[in-house]
A and B are shown apart, each in its own frame.
Chain A
Amino acid sequence: MTTTGLRITGLSKGFGQQAVLQHIDLDIDEGEFLILVGPSGCGKSTLLNLIAGLEQADAGEIHIAGRRVDWLSPKDRDIAMVFQNYALYPNMTVAQNLGFGLEMQRWPRAEREARVLEVAEMLQITPLLARRPAQLSGGQRQRVAMGRALARRPKVFLFDEPLSNLDAKLRAEMRAEIKLLHQRLRTTAVYVTHDQVEAMTLGHKIAVMNNGQIQQFGTPEKIYHRPANQFVAAFMGSPAINLLPARWLQQDGRAVLRLAIQGVTQDWPVQDLAPGGRGAVTLGLRPENVCPAEGEAPPLGALRVIAPVLLIEPTGADTYVVVDLGGGQRLCARCAGGSRARVGVPLALDLLPEGRSVFDANSGLRLN
């Protein structure tokens, strides 16, 4: 049986007239890694601060490991936090930084020093223990900031965009290291980021946020393959999902999506939409579900389109080919490296039914 790591119910927060968070509900098991992701200003950092107790909610409850904490001060919540700018104490050595939280909890000196050494070993920063933060590189500071959180062995780790100040290479390294550490320690974690790659790679569960609300809460697979609405579909994934306007109508008792390709309408039969419905919709297709056509006929359930190539973007392993569908619409396809596409030359592409999302054009909500 699993126990609750973190449970949030009905959490709301506003500054003046402005509602920053509206009725947030979240629930993760102990040991799970929760990602809060969204564009800047979506409320994800405020939510983290509420969990930490650095800000007070207007309404709602927060439970950590089965204990209600929203009325406790940060130090009594059994949490540790890693900050975006590391927030190391400049006047203390690395060892003092690592041990400060333990000192505040009145640990005896010997135990404190033992724990500091243990954490330093774990993060390979033992040679840095006597240095001050000003003498460390960005990556080293990041490690110390992590170590300071680890030393406490809290019930929940809180990460506030911890990697956003590192360069791309170091960021990938630290991301892998955080994942390894979490696999080893199995401590519940909440991780705020605006980077959807970090979200996908690190999280057991992802909460995609926008405008102070959770747009979708689920596993990375579900978020990626079955986005609950158009915002989630557009926010997650790189290169971005293709979003094409279409009409949903019934033809001979079958549901079809009518698309305009180069000024010509093409009908794509769909099975997974509610029977009898119709209206303006948006079709969402990830680039990997659009492939260069092979053979005479498209695979079962696929739609073949032909359109001139606008842009070719090789990334090494894959090449992304963007074609012009006319009417200002573009379509991005992922092709295996060394694609035969030429700019300006028409290319035949198959739209695959797998991973196809259909959204209501007005509400943006998923229909299939």
Chain B
Amino acid sequence: MMLRRAGIYALLALFAAYFALPLLFMLLNSFKSVAELQRGGFLGWPQAPDLQAWREAWAALGGSFKNSLLLALPVVALSSLLAALNGFVLCKLRFRGSEAVFVLLLVALFLPIKVYLLPLAISLAKLGLAKSLGVLIAIHVIYSLPLALFFRNHYLGFPDELLRAARVDGAGFWALFTRIVLPLSKPVFVVVVILQFTTIWNEYLFGLVFTDRDSRPVTAALAQLGASGEGGVRQYNVEMAAALLAALPTLAVYLLAGRHFTRGLVAGAVKG
């Protein structure tokens, strides 16, 4: 019994190492110099560890890092609030055709985002909208509408009596929404915020196409970094430091909210 358990743990440790190794090498190599990497010191410990690569990576990414924050934070806030509102309306304030809207959202959820790229580019051009963060924010907010489904499913288990009590108590639509519905949506918010932040932060295609040089998000800047090696020498150390840097915010979000994440995913599975 003990032996079997030890075997299981050994196997799990092996898998864990397999997944962790690439990350470890990235981390190690980000502390090496270009010269050391060129000498073939790819696998060993850094001989003269320094933060030069990290400094260069930050110098290259810093501006786009800010862009990504300016993009992700408003998009996450706006789209999740909008999703809560839409989910509530779709679930509890049925109107003529609300079922059709629901089905459309469901379909939109399954369509790959690349499908929209060309029509969107043409539309923006015809509308005369310049590439900018504002435009990108608007696009992401609009394309995040299917998030409403998360909230709708949560509100299905919401007792109608509660809403009727609030109406008798004199709450109008907005008081109902902000004072009763929103505070009771926290578990869903945690899930949606994590998913949405990760998605928006890591999104590349729209970020590349619908921004210009100054409004580029971190993913686009990262790709640019790899493409623009000077004199044919690729600065792997800088690339790896930059990639790690770019991944930090999503990592932080998972670590901070991860505990609530699993709780939110199963919330509503069992009423109680």
Contact = CB atoms under 8 A, between A and B. Distances in A.
Given A54-B164, A84-B161, A87-B159, A104 B183 contact: no
A75 B168 CA distance: 5
Nearest to B165: A87
A52 B164 CA distance: 10
Contact of A90 (B170, B175, B179, B184): B184
Given A54-B164, A80-B168, A87-B164, A104 B175 contact: yes
A85 B159 contact: yes
B169 interface: yes
A231 interface: no
Given A81-B165, A85-B161, A91 B184 contact: yes
A89 B162 contact: yes
B169 A148 contact: yes
A91 B184 CA distance: 7
B168 A54 contact: yes
Interface in A41-86: 52-54, 73-75, 79-81, 83-85
A337 to B, nearest CB: 44
Given A91-B184, A104-B171, A83 B161 contact: yes
Question: Secondary structure of the B side of the interface?
Answer: helix
A81 B183 contact: no
B166 interface: yes
A88 B166 CA distance: 9
A100 interface: yes
A104 B176 CA distance: 10
Contacts of B169: 75, 80, 100-101, 104, 148, 152
A57 to B, nearest CB: 17
Nearest to B162: A87
Q: Which of B159, B164, B175 gathers most chain A CB within 10 Å?
A: B164
A135 interface: no
Contacts of B184: 90-91
A52 B159 contact: no
Interface string A335-352: 000000000000000000
B168 A74 contact: yes
Question: Secondary structure of the A side of the interface?
Answer: loop
A105 interface: yes
Contacts of A53: 168
Nearest to A84: B161
A53 B169 CA distance: 12
A75 B161 contact: no
Q: Which of B162, B169, B179 gathers most chain A CB within 10 Å?
A: B169
Nearest to A99: B169
Contacts of A52: 164, 168
B162 A79 contact: no
A12 to B, nearest CB: 22
Interface string B147-168: 0000000000001011011111
Contacts of B172: 75
Contacts of B168: 52-54, 74-75, 79-81, 101, 158
B129 interface: no
A148 B166 CA distance: 11
Interface in B160-199: 161-162, 164-172, 175, 179-180, 183-184
B268 to A, nearest CB: 14
Q: Which of B162, B167, B168 gathers most chain A CB within 10 Å?
A: B168
A101 B161 CA distance: 15
A91 B183 contact: yes
Contacts of A89: 162, 165-166, 179-180
Q: Which of B162, B170, B171, B179 gathers most chain A CB within 10 Å?
A: B170
A53 B159 CA distance: 18
Nearest to A76: B170
A49 to B, nearest CB: 8
A55 to B, nearest CB: 10
A38 B237 CA distance: 80
Interface in A159-176: none
Contact of A91 (B161, B171, B180): B180
Contacts of A84: 161
Contacts of A74: 167-168, 170
Contacts of B171: 75, 100, 104
Contacts of A91: 180, 183-184
Nearest to B161: A87
A53 B179 CA distance: 21
Interface string A4-31: 0000000000000000000000000000
Q: Which of A52, A54, A148 gathers most chain B CB within 10 Å?
A: A54
Nearest to A104: B170
A158 B184 CA distance: 26
A85 B167 CA distance: 16
A85 B170 CA distance: 19
A142 to B, nearest CB: 14
A104 B169 CA distance: 7
Interface string B49-93: 000000000000000000000000000000000000000000000
Listed from nearest, the 9 A-B pairs whose CB atoms lie closest are: A104-B170, A75-B170, A87-B165, A101-B169, A91-B183, A87-B161, A81-B168, A83-B161, A74-B168
13 contacts: A54-B164, A73-B167, A74-B167, A75-B167, A79-B168, A80-B168, A80-B169, A85-B161, A87-B164, A89-B179, A100-B171, A101-B169, A104-B171
Given A73-B167, A152-B169, 8 more contacts: A81-B165, A87-B162, A87-B164, A89-B165, A89-B166, A100-B171, A100-B179, A101-B170
